[in-house]
Chain A
Amino acid sequence: MKISFDIKKDLGDFVLDAAFEGDAKNLGILGESGCGKSLTLKCIAGIETPDEGRIRVGDRVLFDSEKKINIKPGDRRVGYLFQNYALFPNMTVEQNIAAPLKGTREEKEKLVRELIGTYRLEGLEKRLPRQLSGGQQQRTALARMMGTRPEVILLDEPFSALDAFLKDSMIQEFHDVMEVFGGLTVLVSHSRDEIFRLCSQTAVMDAGRVIRYADTREVFKEPRNIKTAGLTGCKNILRAKRRGDHLLFLPDWECELTTKAVLPERLCALGVRAHYLKRSRAGEKNSVAVDIASTARLVFETQYYLNPGGKNLSPEQQLRWFVQAEGEKEIEREGFPEYLGIPEEAMMFLE
């Protein structure tokens, strides 16, 4: 479904000035907390009103300050799943689900029963929200929202209040719900994993602006700017200078790297994926001599912080190399490598 917005809202200490146009099924909005992603979502839902701008979803205009259009939240056919679920605390599960429904008593009861079945809430009908687990509360909120038959559903950090184990299974559950749901889903999150798993397209927001939009895989592969690289999980972001179409220079490391791809004109940094570095030898293409500065052992991987040959750099300038089971065995067998190669698929050229 097509979605576009161009909205401004001045909150004094924060200015939202987000413009976006896309055609997506599952749109993710990725950004740090406080970047304006939730505010954008609230503007789409009509909970907040932008100072000026336009919001269109499909072929409907939801908001247009010039044409004085501002559709009421309840008439937008936009469902909003709140971060804290916003279940009515005085109502039971079935009362919560029934609260927004219209029609005769029988129609409502039938729909509530269906929703309770679909969202696996059997046996919990008479419970109050505070007697439910986080996952059950979330499913109740989802059922309540879906009962109003929205065209668009907005999910505001839906997994941030869940513990890690529950989070994984709820993400999978949402995956299935979104698959079945015919309309547009917009998921707002600061977690690249959630976005990567659930969203076909991704918009990246920073300081109230949309700074990158593309298919999710492309955003992760080619973040194009430093902020997006960081948000998509790039652990090495190094200052870089363009020295030719295929030659770049890293001033902190005082070394040159060559590329097959043509470098962008406005190159200012090189991102390097910490998992993609390879054992290498002196004199090989794009290989760097490394010394271990520090090591962090995690459950499933070891993180090495490396200084390039003979230098003593600050941690941000060091090279991070993250090694998992196979690689660790290799290090046990053959010793820690003196040289690491930076393959081109590990490089991201940032402007």
Chain B
Amino acid sequence: MRYVDEYRDAGKARALAARIAGLCEPGRTYRLMEVCGGHTHTIYKHGLEDHLPEAVELVHGPGCPVCVIPMGRVDDAIAIAAEPDVIMTSFGDMMRVPGGNGSFLDAKAAGADIRMVYSPLDALKIARAEPDRRVVFMGIGFETTAPSTAMTVKRAAAEGLANFSVFCNHVMIIPAIKAILDSPDLRLDGFLGPGHVSTVIGCRPYEFIARDHGRPLVCAGFEPLDVLQAVYLAMRQLAEGRAEVENQYARVVPWDGNPVALRAIGEVMEPRPYFEWRGLGIISHSALRMRDTYAQHDAERIFDLPGVRVADPKACQCGEVLKGVLKPWECKVFGTACTPETPIGTCMVSSEGACAAYYNFGRFSRERFRETSAP
């Protein structure tokens, strides 16, 4: 596959890994946060950590927009889906996220019409095909996905599709990164920036990280060599005492982002004064809602939502995992009470959540494997 396979070459990985090792100061450890859930997934799926020297640690951050949705919002979505004429549409990622009373999959089993889609345009298609039903699209994701939702809403408005609305749960990456930087528990040396969010917002918004916090940020692609190269560039900055924003993913990320996409978001959505992020608490101006001009396509205005704030289960330590303070296996309930079959928190449910990624891909004793691997 072009533009994919070239970035999965094991030989080049070894070479890069050697260079990274060469940049490590003896006795020093390095903690780089990869903000984006897609990076977490890549790292585990390709076994990337096997290539990194022990001194370099990749910390998983809160860039999993499914993981940060509070349980109360899942309950709100299920309440909408429970209305008899509603068809709730959602990406697959959401189907098993537990709310206060079960997940979308459980609600579906109890009779709600919840359908999985691959694009908001699929939801629009359903709305056209079923004019007597109200079709709601659960909009989740960072700035990568918000433009697609926005364009779909614009299309719905242009076609006068009154039965289509969006339950907007789009969140913004910069406030999440700020929350991390402001957190006292964290020691980080640098960041791997979210590659696909950056196709929309560009690289400029990260400049404050380098300028005000003195940490390098390298915007990284999602193939394993992209991630490794980004680690190398970050380590090189650290070795040379620099703190800058660099763009490893320049083949896809324009420095100034995508103006059409940004305008689409701006036309249809506006920042909420505040939004609760599971694990990170309430963050101001960190999420998007529909503008008044598109009220007729705003599910929050159309439907009566319980709007109840549901506290996370006491045992759940997702917040600390999302901030990178705890490693997945350090959570007290990891692997016993909280597993992919019986997830307590979102970090275990979402396929890119740190806990799920570690449980599904990374969880085995590398040492024993190496011992028994030797010819």
Q: Answer yes or no: do A and B interact.
A: no
Interface residues of B (CB under 8 A from A): none
